[in-house]
Structure 1
Amino acid sequence: MAERAQTGPGNPIRVFLLDDHEVVRRGVRDLLDDEPDITVAGEASTVAQALARVPALRPDVAVLDVRLPDGDGVTVCRELRSHLPELACLMLTSFDDEEALLDSIMAGASGYVLKQIRGSELVSAVRTVAGGQSLLDPSATTRLLSRLRDGREDDAEPDALPGLTEREREIL
């Protein structure tokens, strides 16, 4: 990942927020705006708003909710990163979902954290991804890595049709 511009009080980390819940956006905005080296440059509650506003505002970090009523943050991440490769996307979600984590990584997200995170940890996560590093939720990452190492897609699938031979399953 490319080195990001130096940040600090004179040149703060510019953050964009995407979450469909106003209370969450306000809380995250207040939390981040309290930091001298971070400023919230803009926010949106829908995918369409985010895709229109982020390129114009050119933030350093986009904090994206994974699940939205009109789409998902993973798609927003992929789209934004295709036009703004220097943008760091931090996925913030309520759902401890291995698939969303993997999809986020594949879309180019720099970080993936759960909304249960403490405020100080979220601030630290923004600084981490703004600095060009990655940050993934440990519990979701552990489960995902375990599943990938085991090579299992779905434990129930082989026993789904117990009366069939291997060849019959293959044909099906």
Structure 2
Amino acid sequence: MTVRTTDTPVRVMIVDDHEVVRRGIVTVIDASPALTVVGEASTVDEARRRLPAVRPDVLVVDLQLPDGTGIDVMTRARELSPEQRMLVLTSFDDDAALRESRAVGAAGMLLKSARSRDIVAAIEKIAEGQTVWPSRPAEDEEELSATDQRIVELIGDGCTNREIADELGIAEKTVKNRITAILHSLGLQRRTQVAAREAARRRAGWK
């Protein structure tokens, strides 16, 4: 884990398709002497094009974008720099989104309704190598969302990612991201283990 040791402002890039929201976040960040905004993007494509030149210390990403998701942006960011620090700033406190964000390497998640000082503090902590995640009861760690459970069932049926995507009406890349998050949530490493777990569940008549 890379920890910042310099006194220079943390360089932040923001990816959010709502201009008013994005400008508000920029204002909040630029008001802090410890942070500075070095780049903005409103789409996945725009973010992918700007990332190589901007190389921010912390990437702040919304999950819902017009041409894809924040997961796509973060995946690309980690391809460019495996040590890239990332914060998800979202309107929805969703367990599946939290698992997917963790799976692609995000260091934290915060709701857009958070106070300005909390957003600044979260970015500073992440820049220093810390994590900022919403608290969750321990017993909920292995619970899957309805969509993720359906994906597990379809894996158990022997479906390919393309077949699962067609069945659920989502992108194949989204299926791949969700499977990665499912593996992380269940403490598994391979898709075949998910299939075996589902087969055992069916044999035992689990609910």
TM-score by length of 1: 0.80
Which residue in the other structure is 1:53 paired with?
50
Instruction: Assess if the C-alpha contact under 8 Å between 1:7 and 1:37 holds in 2.
Output: no
Instruction: Assess if the C-alpha contact under 8 Å between 1:7 and 1:13 holds in 2.
Output: no
Q: Mapping of 1:147-166 within 5 angstroms?
A: 147-149=140-142
Cα offsets for 1:95-142 (capped at 9, x unmatched):
11100000000000011111111100000000000001111122xxx1
- Which structure features the higher share of helix residues? 2
Aligned alpha-carbon RMSD (Å): 2.1
Instruction: Assess if the C-alpha contact under 8 Å between 1:94 and 1:115 holds in 2.
Output: yes
Gaps of 5+ in 2: 151-201
Structure 2 counterpart of 1:126, one-letter code = I
CA–CA separation in structure 2 for the residues paired with 1:153 and 1:29? 33
Structure 2 counterpart of 1:108, one-letter code = G
Is the counterpart of residue 100 in structure 1 residue 100 in structure 2?
Answer: no
Gaps of 5+ in 1: 158-168
Which residue in the other structure is 1:82 paired with?
79
Which residue in the other structure is 1:2 paired with?
2
Q: 1:118 aligns with which of 100, 110, 115?
A: 115
TM-score by length of 2: 0.67
Deviation of residue 152 (structure 1)? 6.2
- Which structure features the higher share of strand residues? 1
Instruction: Assess if the C-alpha contact under 8 Å between 2:96 and 2:145 holds in 1.
Output: no
Cα offsets for 1:31-64 (capped at 9, x unmatched):
1001111100010000011111112111100000
Following superposition, which runs of at least 4 residues in structure 1 exceed 4 angstroms of deviation?
151-154
CA–CA separation in structure 1 for the residues paired with 2:36 and 2:144? 43
Instruction: Assess if the C-alpha contact under 8 Å between 2:3 and 2:127 holds in 1.
Output: no
Deviation of residue 153 (structure 1)? 6.5
3-state SS of paired residue (2:141): helix
Which residue in the other structure is 1:164 paired with?
none
